[in-house]
Chain A
Amino acid sequence: MEPITVYPARMIRTMEPALPTAEAVAVRGDKIIEVGSLESMRPWLDAHPHTIDERFRDHVIMPGFIDPHLHPSMAAVLLPMHFTTALEWHLPWQDVPATRGHNEFLDRLKEIDLDMGDPDEPMFTWGHHPIWHGEVDRRTLNGISANRPIIVWHRGFHTLVVNDAAIAWMGMDEADGERHPQVNMAEGRFFETGLSLAYRYFNPYILESKRFEGGLERLAEVVHFGGHTTIGDMAAGMFNLDMEWDALVKVLERDDTPFRVQMIPPGNALGGGQKDGDRLVQRTVGLRERNTHRLRFYDHVKLFADGGFYAGLMQLGPPGAIDGSHGEWMTPPETFEQVARAYWNAGFKIHVHCTGDMGVELALDTLEKLQWERPRFNHRFTIEHFGVSTPEQVRRMADLGALASVNIYYVHELGHAYWQNKLGHERASQMSRLGTLARHNVTTALHTDFTMAPALPLNSAWVAATRISEAGHVMGPEERLTLDQALRAITIDAAYILGLEHEIGSIRGGKTADFTILEQDPYEVGAENLREIPIWGTVFEGRPHPIKRP
């Protein structure tokens, strides 16, 4: 049997209320043997061979961070692109500065153009937003480069704008673009259904397997950089499961990958119609045959209610949106109920993408019906995202046993914009209402939906505990979490959302030895400084993995 390794630390935050802090943790193989002090664990050490590893003597050990909802495949497509966002992004290989203003945006494009070695390589940029950067068009981009194809992708993927060189590189017939009602060829702009015309030419390039795998390598770096040891792929197979799976296994199922990925597949293809529930369940169960050590399908499934939050397509109840716009349904309510029933009756834990309060309403109406038909305890029905909601819905969630996995970054990035343009202050300041969830004891995780928000759990916890918008306002102070609640939401409560709380999420003898190693103690630095805490690295299944510094 392997010897025990003991890691003494400046502080261990176990996230176990029965023993919240400790001085040392003993690990054998991939399991925690005991947490406590060198003295308290003496009987174990006397009975078994052990070594004392002093490397974390000046560090703070926390349970490995968990993001239960992000999208590795989407990240693999996006991470090879150049970020030009209005908000700063910390990536392992680069600190992307905030780009604000039209001229600054153009300067950023010029800078990227100069930095790129190959003069013919297409420049894909992501992060343009007219609120912050003004409009750009084909002519503006021709001014950046006459030779290099430039593709400017909107922050929320609404539109893309290209230059002359990009059109030539795409091999697109100008007449095809001119004909399309949702392509403005003179401005080089593709929007709504016109986007699919552009994807027709881009997809072979951006989904090409080498590039996709390179993107996944970057995703792996990002996940480690944030201090995660577990993530949930909350729509596994979003482009094409077979293609994605091969790449995921190839890139992530490696001895040096310091995290696991819980694979939560969509329960059905989007759209409507009658679905053969048994067939859907069978297919989803069958996915488990693919499982490897780090990549695991299990009894969790994802369903979709209303549209995307960044795209502004959430379904809003009264009084609706300031601009009178309406949301979309990703699944017709009848189909949603029918598919949910099939998975519910098969014992699945169901995660539902809900962005607006009507999306939440549909999920809860369905849950209530299913509970009536066939009561289940410990069912872990989880509302995902939770952009706009009402306090009454939270109370109902508590009554029905529903859980929440919340994208809190909405408050930071969109809080001000949606106050001004979409929801007004009252509802915008209560987006992602974590405080109410906590007051009703609804178990809640934080997630980033990366690439929708930066995959940095301490950053998410910082927004959750402060609710500071990018414009500098505190949005809805009553909906803040306490520091402890925010940290639980990226550790033990996130483990609960993924149904893995018996294995991970806290530091306790018998659990898997997944740790995040910090340079400072979050409880000492306080909520305001959470996102500044440097991360040394992680321990995954008992093995230390320092974050490489550039």
Chain B
Amino acid sequence: MIPVTVIGGYLGAGKTTMINSLLAGDHGLRLAVLVNDFGAINIDARLIAAHDGDTISLSNGCVCCTIADALGEALDKVLAMAVPPDHIVIEASGVANPAKIAMYGRGWPGLCLDGVIVLADGDNIQAQAADKFVGHTVQLQLAAADILLLNKTDLLTGAQNQSVMTWLAAEASDSRVIPTSFGAIPFTILLGAGGLPQTIHAEPHATYQTVVFRTPRALDRERLLARIASWPRGVLRAKGLVRLGDDPVHAHVLQLVGCRHELSLGPAWREEVPATQLVLIGIEGQIDSDCLRASLLSACI
């Protein structure tokens, strides 16, 4: 299953800037990025290996394809590539409900949903959410986010920033809100895939902290889910294998993206010694690594 990340948000929120940085980024992943239009995609010409109508292939192994009104067909095309990508990113159109696009991640054969990242233009989001034409559309987009990036905060004063953060927290009560500018956010938070690195470089508006948790003990499923639900909103991502008390044969995979998490059946342990290994990433100052470890330990049987 190839993980799918949906990037949504209204026009001008910074989706294209983020996609440009994903395509050129040093994440070591072979990404397939599906966009509505090549129009504003800005790829360094030296990186382009081939340009064939609706697909641009990059020398770093990434490809960028246009959706052209038929997302299913575009996904099938990507899935049929000689070497399928590690991860697929879908840019939702400026008026799309990203939750609807996420259905493709959840339902299209060969794909699984990683998460829904929605960007909001810090300077304009409140006006957009009240706009006579697109107000409702924008509200739906905010509500669809697992992780909400309040972008362009460099244009805001501290007080404005605070006020829009407060407003957003009420508007999108479940999602995790991260202030940022130029869509600059670590790839591990955007994509969550691959081995999560232990250290992540600092950001201008928020710094991130990684918490690693290992235990050979089995965890109680119900208790684990209850603990996760009580974690602070600063926890943005969590991923890893879990040894559950009610299934001695299989590992289970915990995946948390912002406000949404799931625990699904993973591979059989076989020769491996069953053990829980989780990596959590959160916003520094909003999470406490000792508390999180203690929370997980208390879910052990």
Of A176, A276, A328, A361, most buried by chain B (CB within 10 Å of CB) is A328
Known contacts A196-B72, A273-B11, A273-B36; decide if A183 and B94 are in contact (CB<8 Å).
Answer: no
CB neighbours of B12 from chain A (8 A): 334
Q: Are B37 and A271 in contact (CB under 8 A)?
A: yes
Check B39–A200 contact: CB distance below 8 A: no
The answer to whether B72 and A181 touch across the interface, beta carbons within 8 angstroms, is no
Closest residue on chain B to residue A178 by CB atoms: B107
For the complex, give the distance between the alpha carbons of A326 and B96 in Å. 13
| Chain A: number of interface residues, binned into ranges | 35 or more
* B211: min CB distance to chain A, Å: 31
CA distance A472 to B103 in the complex (A): 41
Residues of B within 8 Å of A315, CB to CB, are: 133
- Report Cα–Cα, A270/B68, bound state, in Å: 8
Residues of chain B contacted by A176 (CB below 8 angstroms): 109
Q: Give bound CA distance, A295 to B128, whole Å.
A: 43
Whether A272 touches B94, Cβ cut-off 8 Å, given contacts A332-B10, A333-B134, is: yes
B107 and A335 form a contact (CB under 8 A): no
Cβ of B229 within 8 Å of any chain A Cβ, yes or no, is no
Question: Are B107 and A197 in contact (CB-based, < 8 A)?
Answer: yes
Assuming the contacts A192-B103, A193-B100, A329-B133, asked whether A271 and B39 have C-beta atoms less than 8 A apart, the reply is: no
A332–B11 CB distance below 8 A = yes
| A358: B residues at CB distance < 8 A | 132-133
Residues on B with C-beta less than 8 A from A332 are 10-11, 93-95, 134
Contact A269 B104 (CB under 8 A): no
**Interface residue range, chain B:** 20 to 34
A271 to B109, CA, bound (A): 24
A276 engages B39 (CB within 8 Å): yes
Using a CB-CB cutoff of 8 Å, which residues 137-186 of chain A contact chain B? Answer: 173, 176, 179-183
Q: Kindly identify which residue among B16, B68, B133 contacts A269, using a CB–CB cutoff of 8 Å.
A: B68
Q: How far is the CA of A274 from the CA of B37 in the complex (A)?
A: 9
A502 at interface (Cβ–Cβ under 8 A)?
A: no
- A355 contacts partner chain B, Cβ-Cβ < 8 Å: no
Given A200-B76, A332-B11, A269 contacting B37 (CB threshold 8 A): yes
Rounded to whole angstroms, the CA-CA distance of A361 and B132 in the bound complex is 10
- A271 adjacent to B136 (CB under 8 Å): no
Q: Is B126 an interface residue (CB 8 A)?
A: no
Chain A interface (Cβ < 8 Å from any Cβ of B): 173, 176, 179-183, 192-194, 196-197, 199-200, 269-276, 315, 317, 326, 328-335, 358, 361-362
List 24 interface pairs A-B (beta carbons < 8 Å), by A numbering. A181-B103, A193-B100, A197-B107, A197-B109, A199-B72, A200-B76, A269-B37, A270-B69, A270-B93, A271-B36, A271-B37, A271-B67, A273-B16, A275-B37, A275-B39, A276-B39, A328-B95, A328-B137, A329-B137, A330-B95, A331-B95, A333-B133, A334-B11, A334-B94
- Given A193-B103, A270-B93, A273-B11; 8 other pairs, CB 8 A cutoff: A197-B72, A271-B37, A272-B93, A273-B36, A326-B136, A328-B95, A334-B12, A334-B94
